[in-house]
Amino acid sequence: MKWLKIPLLLLLIVVSFAGARNTFADEQLQRVLIMFETTIDQQLIEQNNGSIIEELPAINSVSALLPKNSIEVLQANKAIKYIEEDKPVSLQSYWSDWGTEKIAAQNAWTHHLTGQGVKVAVIDTGIAPHPDLNIKKGVSFVNYTKSAADDHGHGTHVAGIIAAGQQTQGLKGIAPDVELYAIKVLDKNGNGYHSDVIQGIQWAIEHEIDIINLSIGGFESSTFLEEALNEAYEEHNILIVAAAGNNGQLRAKGNTVDYPAKYASVIAVAATDNQDRHPIFSSHGVEVELAAPGVSIQSTHLDGGYVALDGTSMAAPHVTAMLALLKQAQPSKTNKELRKMIQGYTVDLGLPGKDSLFGYGRISFPEQIQLEAPRPSPPKNLKVEKKLENEKVLLTLTWEHEEATTFFIYRNQQKIAEVTDQFFYTDEKITSGPITYEITAINEAGSESAKTVMFVESDYAATANLYSDVNVSDWYISALHQLQSKKLIGGYPDGTFKPNHPVTRAELIVMIGRSLNIAGTKRATIYSDVNEQFFASGFIQTGQEIGLISGYPDGTFHPNHPVTREEAAVFLTRAFHLTQATTQSFPDLDPNHYTFSAILRTVGEGIATGYPDGTYHPKEAVTRAELATFLARALKYK
């Protein structure tokens, strides 16, 4: 499917050249740029005590000197389309566009936030060489060039808004010290394919990008593109920002937000002008999450120049850059936590609260930004010594650290001890088996380091090596290893385990059936949608016969439907005869729902858990990693 052409509105193109700062003999005069609706009207300017410096006929514009009181008069004149300050540029300093000033980026700069250490990918037409830009790395997925250099201009303009500022003069972007990556998926005409964009997203995942900017869009949805974006967002902690679209003039057709901005994993950004108004071109819809400057935005362009462009394509990188600064300020926060944070750093526009024009509002940095305390370095040279004493195996962990004196000890992802003023810990291991130990350092500010991992008598690495998308440090690795060693679970033909994919009803009954050693040979079933050749037919029919499962009133089983967390609790409770209910309460559970008792029992027996905020999320699909963990814990009741 061909990707739709980017609908840019090039209403104002103003080339800015580096030069000496202008001074005026009369301080009451101001140098401005004036764009006329039709043709340049020299007489109108002279009638208002102004004088033309230079004509820009290609865009019906002039640069002129005007008394300040005449500027307001001309702004109200119907013959005038725009008036803005003709901003000076100095060889000795940077200059910033109005959008950068509007979102109060200087508040972040005063805290020395410049995006350092944050990796940002611009998936676009590429990025052209420019004195103001430092491109860390680039890649091309268009068919006619291997170069990531921009031959259109759009991607370079987007990149400048985010990261310009690599020399002592010229434009200063919002986050000038980010690591900037150019991913070229659109050609010189601004066209490309979904497959190219998907390749770009996969490349970003492989290179551990923190934030992706997608100032591209179209009316066409794609299941493949949505899956790629979901993987980046849900499984790889990547923030994704996209232009909402430039289809506002189609308001009569209802929601006009483009794809990919429409997807739930993506932050959709609308545009505002310098008066915080909603420009007519900016798309609107319930998916609009944030708004940012997008009218007459000056930024870098081809051949080392600068132009001013309109569009939500220009608004999106303002949000991307702000997220980069917030990521630097709070490096341990997840993409979802940062997404929630930026929603609060807004100026509410339009209707109170979130609306379809501005989302939560136009972004703006607060004067005070909370900075995360620097994390200490992790412990190093972790070693283990084993000693058999009274038929018990004693494990003594030792490590080194130059600064911290307090350390947390984790066993199989559970914190088991806190030690102070010592660099060792002795643990009893009653039975043999795989164990993962993790040690972290705590500094005086209470900040915890990254974990140093030690695997003891563990076959986890062998299990992880079976799957390309599983690591030995993954939180579910112990459960996966246990089930894998018992041949109760397996992966997919492509060598993946897909830990975050939802579990289907058929997959669940197969895993439980194997755990209970029930007959699983393929055979005919009583369900109209499960034929004899279906991979789970034997387990489904046996499960029905022993009362483990039941179908739907219409005689179907829906084998490919995802299983929710509450449904998984029912299956596990029946299979392992769970009885001990927890006294813990969950605000999102309905006591009258048929799954309520089963949920309390799975929690009470230590099989399932809620979330840190005290909720259970009963309607969420249970993932393969979650079910593996639940099932491994349930095996003790077999």
Could you please report the per-residue DSSP string of 309-321? EBSHHHHHHHHHH
Residue from 16, 130, 152, 154 carrying the catalytic annotation: 154
431 Rama class: left (phi>0) / alpha (psi -120 to 50) / beta? beta
User: How far is 121 from 136, CA to CA, in rounded Å?
Assistant: 10
Q: How far is CA 329 from CA 177, 234, 352, 353, 445, in A?
A: 13, 22, 29, 26, 16
Q: pLDDT band for position 14 (50/70/90)?
A: very low
* 154 in active site: yes
Residue from 313, 449, 458, 537 carrying the catalytic annotation: 313
Contacts (Cβ under 8 Å, ≥6 apart) of 470: 463, 464, 477, 480, 497, 499
User: How far is 269 from 246, CA to CA, in rounded Å?
Assistant: 11
User: How far is 466 from 587, CA to CA, in rounded Å?
Assistant: 39
Give yes or no for residue 433 having a pLDDT over 60: no
* 124 in active site: yes
Mean pLDDT of 407-426: 90
Mean pLDDT of 293-299: 94
Residue from 86, 124, 150, 151 carrying the catalytic annotation: 124
Give yes or no for residue 13 having a pLDDT over 80: no
Going along 276-379, which residue ranges are E strands?
Answer: 288-293, 297-300, 306-309, 346-347, 362-363
For the chain, give the longest Cα–Cα distance: 103
Tell me the average pLDDT of the chain. 86
Mean pLDDT of 59-84: 87
Mean pLDDT of 210-237: 93
What dihedral do alpha carbons 187, 190, 195, 198 form, nearest 10°?
110
User: How far is 572 from 598, CA to CA, in rounded Å?
Assistant: 8
Q: pLDDT band for position 474 (50/70/90)?
A: confident
Rg of the chain over all Cα atoms, to the nearest angstrom? 30
More confident residue, 89 or 623: 623
What dihedral do alpha carbons 43, 44, 46, 49 form, nearest 10°?
170
User: How far is 504 from 104, CA to CA, in rounded Å?
Assistant: 48
User: How far is 359 from 349, CA to CA, in rounded Å?
Assistant: 9
Mean pLDDT of 41-61: 86
Mean pLDDT of 75-96: 71
Give yes or no for residue 342 having a pLDDT over 90: yes
Residue 19's pLDDT is 24
Residue 23's pLDDT is 32
More confident residue, 4 or 517: 517
pLDDT > 90: percent of the chain: 58
Mean pLDDT of 120-142: 95
Query: What sections of 466-588 are H helices per DSSP?
Result: 477-485, 505-516, 537-545, 565-576
Whether 630 contacts 567, CB under 8 Å: no
Mean pLDDT of 217-228: 89
Give yes or no for residue 5 having a pLDDT over 90: no
Amino acid at 595: T
* 421 in active site: no
Residue 493's pLDDT is 86
Mean pLDDT of 73-102: 76
User: How far is 570 from 578, CA to CA, in rounded Å?
Assistant: 10
pLDDT tens digits for range 555-605: 999 999 999 999 999 999 999 998 888 888 899 999 999 999 999 999 999
Q: pLDDT band for position 61 (50/70/90)?
A: confident
Residue 456's pLDDT is 67
Helix, strand or coil, per DSSP, at residue 590: coil
Mean pLDDT of 180-190: 95
More confident residue, 637 or 516: 516
Contacts (Cβ under 8 Å, ≥6 apart) of 127: 133, 135, 138, 148, 149, 150, 155, 156, 159, 180, 182
Which CB contacts under 8 angstroms, 24+ apart, belong to 541-548?
Answer: 542/513, 542/518, 543/509, 543/512, 543/513, 543/518, 546/518, 547/574, 548/509, 548/512, 548/516, 548/518, 548/574, 548/575
Residue 391's pLDDT is 47
Contacts (Cβ under 8 Å, ≥6 apart) of 357: 270, 278, 282, 284, 288, 291, 349, 350, 351
Provide the b/e sequence for 398-416 (b: ≥16 CB within 10 Å): bbebeebebbbbbbbeeee
pLDDT tens digits for range 228-268: 999 999 999 999 999 999 998 886 678 999 999 999 999 99
